[in-house]
Amino acid sequence: MVPLRDENPIQITPYVTYGLIALNLLVFGYELSLSPGQLNQFLQQWAVVPIELTASFKGISTAYAGEWGTLITSQFLHGGFLHVGGNMLYLWIFGNNVEEQLGRVRFLLFYLICGALAVLAQWFFNPLSVVPSLGASGAIAGVMGAYIFRFPQVRILTLVPLGIYLTTFRIPAILYLGFWFLQQAFYGVASLEAPVTIGMQGGGIAYWAHAGGFVFGAILGPLLGLFSRSDNPLLPSED
């Protein structure tokens, strides 16, 4: 299932959401300009390498101190067109409404914190992996976790394949995002039994980052004021 749009108009211009999308695309464009060797070196430097993060927490060497910064920088790296395209589509659909509710500054902090915590959730289950972890999906999962609690009944226009045909359905956010979360949690549990083929160890999808980001977003959103803004369109949004 692919979301196309939500039926949830906003009263602001979501500059932070647009800026995050633009920055992700710019960084991905830079990645495309690199040779395979240069790209590998670039990802090793700016993505999270779990075993190095583990070493930094143990205080083995100050050389690993910079690894903490990759909890942020890794959020702007992607491994391919489908990776960046899918992430930006979800951010485009769900980010603007959460930005409107939180205000621009708090939304940016919320986004980056969710992304960092999501990476740590994935790291927790595989701290000795040497495969770089990267992508905006953990942060965007946080946005989705906030969205499902703030707008559970909003309809999501969704493209659904039925055999060889494609059709669309208007699915409530609580069902669409709820199913998405359960799917990530299920595969996260499965990855504990098959670490070589699923998740960070195999260079695949970091399901624990998705599930963790979603939970952290659901918790942090209300703490940062997700429900404090009036829905009165005549009232300005906070900055």
For residue range 182-226, list pLDDT tens digits in order: 888 887 777 665 443 333 334 467 888 999 999 999 999 999 999
Q: For residue 35, give the CATH number of its domain.
A: 1.20.1540.10
Q: What is the pLDDT of residue 21?
A: 98
Q: Which residues pair with 171 in a beta bridge?
A: 156
> 13 lies in a domain?
yes
Rounded-to-integer distance, Cα 24 and Cα 29, Å = 9
* Higher per-residue confidence, 27 vs 133: 27
Segments forming the whole domain that contains residue 175 = 2-223
Q: What is the pLDDT of residue 197?
A: 33
> 106 lies in a domain?
yes
Angle, in degrees to the nearest 10, between helices 81-102 and 137-150? 40
- The two tokens of residue 123 are 């790291």
Q: Please give the tally of structural domains in the chain.
A: 1
Rounded-to-integer distance, Cα 40 and Cα 27, Å = 14
> 153 lies in a domain?
yes
> 228 lies in a domain?
no
> 239 lies in a domain?
no
> 238 lies in a domain?
no
User: Percent of the chain, pLDDT > 90?
Assistant: 64
Rounded-to-integer distance, Cα 170 and Cα 153, Å = 11
> 160 lies in a domain?
yes
Question: Taking the model in full, what pTM does it have?
Answer: 0.88
Angle, in degrees to the nearest 10, between helices 207-223 and 81-102? 10
pLDDT in tens, 89-109: 999 999 999 999 999 999 999
DSSP 69: G
Phi then psi for 78, rounded to 5 degrees? -140, 155
> 237 lies in a domain?
no
